[in-house]
Amino acid sequence: MVCIRASVRITRGLRRHFAVPCFQHTFVSLRQSLVSRSGYCSTTASHSYVIVGAGSAGCVLANRLSENASDSVLLLEAGPKDMQLGSTRLSWKIHMPAALTYNLCDDKYNWFYHTLPQAHMDDRVMYWPRGRIWGGSSSLNAMVYIRGHAEDYNRWQREGAQGWDYEHCLPYFRKAQTHELGADRYRGGDGPLWVTRGKTDHALHHAFIAAGQQAGYPFTKDMNGYQQEGVGWMDMTIYKGKRWSTASAYLRPALSRPNLSAEVGCMVTRILFDGTRARGVEFVQNGQIKRVYADKEVILCGGAINSPQLLLLSGVGNADELRRLDIPVTQHLPGVGCNLQDHLELYIQHQCTQPITLYKVQKPFNMLKTGLEWLLTFTGYGATAHLESGGFIRSRPGVPHPDIQFHFLPSQVIDHGRVKSKIEAFQVHVGPMRSTSVGWIKLKSKDPNDHPVIQPNYLSTDTDVKEFRDCVKLTREIFGQKAFDPFRGPEVLPGAAVQSDAEIDAFVRQKADSAYHPSCTCKMGSASDRTAVVDPELRVYGVEGLRVVDASVMPSMVSGNLNAPTIMVAEKAADTIKGLPSLHDPGVPVYHPANLETQR
């Protein structure tokens, strides 16, 4: 991660973030009639579909639903466009892969969420950046393309998401993708989302992969294909040296269609219901309240935080909690905002004895050189996020599929990248994939401008504490292999003094942080599951004309990063909404280790 930043003004950003616009007088009642209020509200014509949120899922749906020329689609986004005047060079912070830490700290593109103090993490308040821009978090993330394991999707089906097993999901991963290595049974060859492998060929990446094998883990040539388990090269959503967000892959190619409209700066404040039928949405744009109507469906694509928040603001959620906030109940649905899950991770860091890390690249002159090379040719250190190697392992015998993930980086990250590297160092991001701690999201108030209350309940189970202990010990084992002998200096984090289980546990509480993968807050499940929010066709239970399509509908976390699965969910949902039968690839081979019960 090359932090090519001039100066991120965090103080200014936080001040802007917490300043609430004076719209309170316009929100006297969240259940006003659908009749336009003269002087306050502008009512527009209806569309077939109104999509709320131009993020990883919303951009996919905008493209796929507008393929039918007889349907009109309106896409509403609270943030700005991802480019200005059609030039990537005028919005380089979004499009330069190495500049990703700019976006994590810039509230122009970012919701700047924070959690409640975490009781099991020394009462730390955790920072949750989420995308508020065309492309959503795919315009802010580290561009790692990971699908998760086949068994994640088979588990979804067992949890009540009928038709979401791996055989029904893999074809949509393929449909979305064009992989630079070519198509096969696992990779796509003609989809909008370009996926590439790293080009830097860095010695430290080779050392990590070799060390993983020396520690006894297999090499995998494609952790998104037949065999996730093992160490190897990671895929990235980078194309021709630029970030390939869903805005670039799906939205912009479709904007020339006359039946697709995309608006920015639209803060959607509630869903408009006629009884229990969703008819449209109300939003604020340029200080003016507006309404727009959907002839067919309203589709929420706001993500794991915004989608449950909007449902709750619209009276869909736990009836008792809604009444306490004086929000009229549209539909009692107690699962809204519950089942919050996220990946937590640690940075294990070593000093490097050779000057080959990205430390020197982050010096002012070299940053300028890197920036100019990228601006002129879209090549060089700026054309990658540098997370080019990694792996998935099983922490102990009997674990059915990998439960620990590694992202290796030939650099040092401090405080989400908001502090520059101090030394020549390398690190691995490591964390459990299927933590058992579950949290929730609730409204702070009925003011749509108030961020919701976020409680992930990190490390609230003994299982999660034990798994993080394993993460530290197993990472140390890999870094201790012969392949790192030419590069390994003193351990920076946790540090040589941290050895006992109690000391490791304290380190985890002090230093673990979100991997930015919130999900599962509008859980998909069967009608008999009272915690489910949407059915397997992603229709909200108890109401009509309303779906949720984003990471919030996942019944449980996948074993990996969330962007690729979210895009898959939207691709599959698009076929469902259009009334097409689901794609299906039966009998797909999946790797199962022969030593499952005896070795990790």
Residue 445 pLDDT greater than 70, yes or no: yes
Across all residues in the chain, what is the average pLDDT? 91
Nearest to 347 by CA among 146, 492, 498: 492
Residue 536: its pLDDT value, please?
98
Which residue among 149, 343, 407, 517 is the active-site one?
517
Task: Give the rounded percent of residues in the chain with a pLDDT score beyond 70.
Answer: 92
Q: How confident is the model at residue 14 (pLDDT cuts 50, 70, 90)?
A: very low
Residue 383: its pLDDT value, please?
96
Residue 101: its pLDDT value, please?
85
Residue 90: its pLDDT value, please?
58
**41: helix, strand or coil:** strand
Report yes or no: 394 and 600 within 8 Å, Cβ to Cβ: yes
What are the two backbone dihedrals, phi and then psi, of residue 493, each rounded to the nearest 5 degrees?
-130, 130
Nearest to 235 by CA among 250, 226, 225, 247: 225
> Is-catalytic flag, 25?
no
Residue 295: its pLDDT value, please?
98
Residue 87: its pLDDT value, please?
55
Residue 88: its pLDDT value, please?
52
Break the chain into its structural domains and give their ranges.
Answer: 199-233+344-432+460-511
Instruction: Pick left, alpha or beta for residue 595 (phi over 0 → left; psi -120 to 50 → alpha; otherwise beta).
Output: alpha
Residue 107: its pLDDT value, please?
79
How is residue 170 written in tokens? Answer: 């893999």
pLDDT tens for 476-509 read 999 999 999 999 999 999 999 999 999 999 999 9
pLDDT tens for 302-327 read 999 999 999 999 999 999 999 999 99
Residue type, 302: G
- Flag whether the pTM goes above 0.85: yes
Residue 35: its pLDDT value, please?
32
Q: How confident is the model at residue 421 (pLDDT cuts 50, 70, 90)?
A: confident
Containing 508, the helix (H) or strand (E) segment is helix 501-511
Buried/exposed code over 351-374 (b: 16+ C-beta within 10 A; e: otherwise) = bbeeebbbbebbeeebbeebbebb
Q: Which CATH code is given to the segment(s) 199-233+344-432+460-511?
A: 3.30.410.40
Q: Please state, in angstroms and rounded to a whole number, the distance separating the CA atoms of residues 311 and 333.
A: 10
